[in-house]
């Protein structure tokens, strides 16, 4: 598919709403490659962690900031993602980390209302000038726990966060107050859709009560001017080499052929 170019209207929408949905950011072939490799990746499967919600239900994820010639870096480094994030945040970006988030059918747990900067603030990130993009690997619907956002809540500033079960969530009283002012949006997505969102945007997701799993790849970026501590999986500034969008198919098809060959 052709390389995506974010418009001035979309940049303004992101600034006002704190998020931007781009349907069909990745085509069927690219999404199929990510799906096939992601669900067969034994190396990443060995690194999976578990976070339980208040009811004890489990969401799974693996997180990495590795730089290598693989399908994940082909997405993270693509002009479509990194280039768009630079336009939305108005600065050079670098890779903070990427992660696969998994809600298995019938057992996948919820995520409390939170801001990503609510976590990253404690990593020494001075400014909230950071963002993430979620790519739907499966269909992401209300029934299987799609992302929910409070539209425009990134303009409320950083909210205090505390522990809730095995997760860190935003102060519930403050979230309830913000809910009175900000529209609650369910971000349903088809495979290949992308959702860009600001690090201060309040977001959550419900448990997966459906028969369909929900897999999403989330690519997180920091801005060059935003100093932070250099931590495993959450590094300080290193220039990000952006790759041509064609690398997704080139790397993905080669890797999938290797995996199928055993």
Contact criterion met (CB below 8 Å) for 100 and 216: yes
Per-residue pLDDT, 1: 47
Domain ranges of the chain: 8-261
**Alpha-helical runs (H) found in the chain:** 8-17, 28-38, 42-45, 71-76, 84-89, 116-120, 172-179, 247-261
Q: How far apart are CA 251 and CA 150, in angstroms?
A: 36
Architecture of domain 8-261: Sandwich (2.60)
Closest CA to 172 of 142, 184, 164, 57: 164
Reported as a pLDDT band with limits 50, 70 and 90, residue 169 is very high
State the Cα–Cα distance between residues 166 and 226, nearest whole angstrom: 28
Burial 86-111 (b: 16+ CB within 10 A, else e): bbbbeebbbbbbbbbbbbbeeebbbb
* Rounded Cα gap, residues 109 and 132, in angstroms: 21
Rounded-to-5 percentages of helix, strand, coil across the chain: 30, 30, 40
**Per-residue pLDDT tens over the stretch 30-81:** 999 999 999 999 899 889 999 999 899 999 999 999 999 999 999 999 999 9
């Amino acid at each position: 598919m052709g390389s995506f170019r974010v418009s001035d209207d979309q940049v303004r929408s992101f600034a006002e709403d704190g998020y931007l949905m781009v349907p069909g950011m990745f085509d069927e072939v690219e999404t199929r490659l990510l799906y096939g490799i992601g669900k067969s990746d034994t190396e990443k499967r060995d690194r999976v962690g578990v976070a339980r919600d208040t009811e004890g239900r489990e969401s799974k994820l693996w997180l990495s900031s590795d730089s290598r010639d693989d399908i994940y870096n082909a997405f993270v480094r693509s002009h479509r993602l990194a280039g768009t994030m630079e336009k939305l945040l108005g600065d050079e970006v670098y890779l903070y980390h990427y992660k696969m988030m998994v809600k298995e059918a019938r057992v996948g747990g919820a995520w409390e209302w939170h801001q990503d900067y609510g976590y990253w603030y404690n990593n020494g990130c001075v400014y909230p000038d950071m963002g993430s993009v979620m790519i739907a690997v499966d269909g992401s619907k209300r029934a299987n726990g799609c992302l929910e956002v409070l539209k425009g809540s990134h303009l409320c500033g950083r909210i205090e966060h505390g522990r809730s079960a095995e997760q860190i969530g935003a102060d519930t009283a403050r979230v309830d107050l913000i809910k009175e002012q900000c529209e609650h949006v369910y971000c349903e997505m088809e495979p290949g859709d992308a959702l860009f969102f600001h690090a201060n945007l309040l977001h959550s997701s419900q448990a997966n009560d459906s028969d369909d799993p929900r897999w999403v790849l989330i690519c997180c970026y920091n801005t060059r001017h935003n100093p932070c501590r250099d931590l495993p999986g959450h590094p300080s500034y290193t220039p990000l080499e952006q790759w041509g969008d064609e690398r997704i198919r080139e790397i993905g098809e080669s890797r999938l052929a290797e995996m199928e060959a055993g």
